[in-house]
Amino acid sequence: MALILPVKDIHPKFGDGCFLAENATITGDVIMGKNCSVWFHAVIRGDVHSIRIGDRVNIQDGAVIHCTYRKAATEIGHNCNIGHHAIVHGCTLQNNVLIGMGAIVMDHAIVESFSMVAAGAVVLENTVVESGFIYGGTPARKLKPLSTEQRTLLEELADRYVMYAGWYE
């Protein structure tokens, strides 16, 4: 079973149908929606501020979700995909977002719905990733509009991870 710890007597809360890998860690002020998955070695630390996660979000292997003390909570919408070893820190991800493997999204950034942050990209503080585009590089900048296939992927990827999680029941 995942390591689930209260912080200052605040316990993480989970919606129905969530999969938590046995070596995932979730602490403190975390509220997660339905049918989410938190994969192997992922860490969600709600110790210094709140973390709110919508429905059907997958937080893949080795990803870190955190915030900044008294300054930046983390909010993740519905149907979001957080890639392997990504860092999502004190920012807002709207719905149907993909954060690529090893990407970093920093405090007060906003990743709008139906957008992608490429693998390895660094989204600096206060950046707005515009809906309908792929951002990449260091620092991340607008690269190109999403293709029809990429938009479809954003609509389907959350379903895939709900299916993958079911394989572990």
Q: Are the C-beta atoms of 56 and 77 separated by less than 8 Å?
A: no
Total tally of structural domains belonging to the chain: 1
* Percentage above 70 pLDDT, the chain: 100
Is the pLDDT score of 156 beyond 90?
Answer: yes
Q: Specify the 3-state DSSP secondary structure of 33.
A: coil
Distances from the Cα of 26 to the Cα of 18, 31, 88, angstroms: 13, 10, 14
Give mean pLDDT, residues 137-148: 98
Domain coverage including residue 54: 3-166
The per-residue pLDDT for 1 is: 86
Is the pLDDT score of 23 beyond 90?
Answer: yes
Residue 23, CB-side half-sphere exposure with 13 Å CA sphere: 6
Is the pLDDT score of 126 beyond 90?
Answer: yes
Neighbours of 150 (CB within 10 A): 16
Q: Give residue-wise pLDDT tens across range 49-76.
A: 999 999 999 999 999 999 999 999 999 9
Give the CATH number of the domain where residue 91 resides. 2.160.10.10
Mean pLDDT computed over every residue of the chain = 98
